[in-house]
Amino acid sequence: MILDLRNNGGGPLDQARRVADAFLARGAIFYSRGRDERMSRYAAHPDAVDALIAAVPVIVLVNGGTASAAEIVAGALQDRRRATLVGTRTFGKGVVQTVIALGEHAGMSLTTARVYTPSNRSIQALGIEPDIEVVQAVPEAYAGKATVAGEAGLARHLRGEQGEATFTSSIYVPAAHADDEQLQYAVKLILGQVHHAAYPADIENDQARPLQVQLR
């Protein structure tokens, strides 16, 4: 199965949990921590796994436009060795934002928590590196316009707790599947036409560990 999260800017946190839960039968999906330092653990449920999905290898396509809730899904499946990530580094937005209503027609988006993958990786200002990097060739007409700076490259961004990475990552996805090098590489992996040690992912050797946080 190929799950395409390229240029997916994310969405509600609960939807990230539900999507990842469809692929995982146990264990943590992600953790979040607010300003009061209390941790919230979001876990998988065995009854949420579809029998067909559970039986097949998974490849997740990611790029610089993969952000927020989409990064949570990608990071969870990578950490839990449920999927192989193919593409380029993700954007690096690892925070929870809550919309507070300000009257009937207005609201304010407030950052309320940080998000961590199952193996205690902070996504914020770092992003998720793919297991297999595949850089898409860009037509001359889009030269210089087909990459995006990661979260760490933005002014006044929330600093990463585990370091930061300033980078640019591809966001170009061809309209024609035949020209889509990342997609075609994933298909070749599935068909056995190319081989890589990272595919298929080995969920039996899940290396995710419980999150340990030192309170400050």
Residues 204, 140 contacting (CB under 8 angstroms): no
- Mean pLDDT computed over 2-17: 95
Write down the pLDDT at residue 214: 41
Can you tell me whether residue 156 is helix, strand or coil? coil
- 109 an active-site residue? no
pLDDT recorded at residue 36: 83
59 neighbors 145 (Cβ within 8 angstroms)? no
Q: Annotated catalytic residue: which of 4, 21, 93, 169?
A: 93
12: left (phi over 0), alpha (psi -120 to 50) or beta: beta
Instruction: Look up the pTM and report it.
Output: 0.90
Q: ω into residue 200 within 30 of 0, thus cis?
A: yes
Burial of 1-38, coded b for 16+ CB within 10 Å and e otherwise, reads ebbbbbbbebeebeebbebbbebbeebbbbbbbeeeee
**pLDDT over 70 at 207, yes or no:** no
pLDDT greater than 70 at residue 203: yes
Active-site residue 36, yes or no? no
Q: Which helix (H) or strand (E) holds 60?
A: strand 58-62
Domains of the chain as residue ranges with CATH: 2-205 (3.90.226.10)
Task: Specify whether the CB–CB gap between 89 and 129 falls below 8 A.
Answer: yes
Q: Which residue in 4, 21, 32, 79 is the catalytic one?
A: 79
pLDDT tens digit string along 165-197? 999 999 999 999 999 999 999 999 999 999 999
- State pLDDT tens for residues 49-73: 767 787 799 999 999 999 999 999 9
Q: pLDDT by residue (tens digit) across 111-147?
A: 999 999 999 999 999 999 999 999 999 999 998 899 9
Q: Is 93 a catalytic residue?
A: yes
Alpha helix locations (H) across the chain?
13-21, 51-54, 69-79, 181-191
What confidence category does residue 208 fall into, taking pLDDT thresholds of 50, 70 and 90?
Answer: low
In the 8-state DSSP scheme, what is residue 131? Answer: S
Phi-psi group of 144: left, alpha or beta (phi > 0 → left; psi -120 to 50 → alpha; rest → beta): left
**Sequence-separated contacts (24+) of 105-111 with Cβ below 8 Å:** 111/158
- Specify the pLDDT at position 216: 33
Question: Is there a contact between 137 and 99 (Cβ–Cβ < 8 Å)?
Answer: no
Nearest in space to 190 (alpha carbons), one of 83, 108, 112: 83
* Catalytic residue (choose from 21, 32, 68, 170): 68
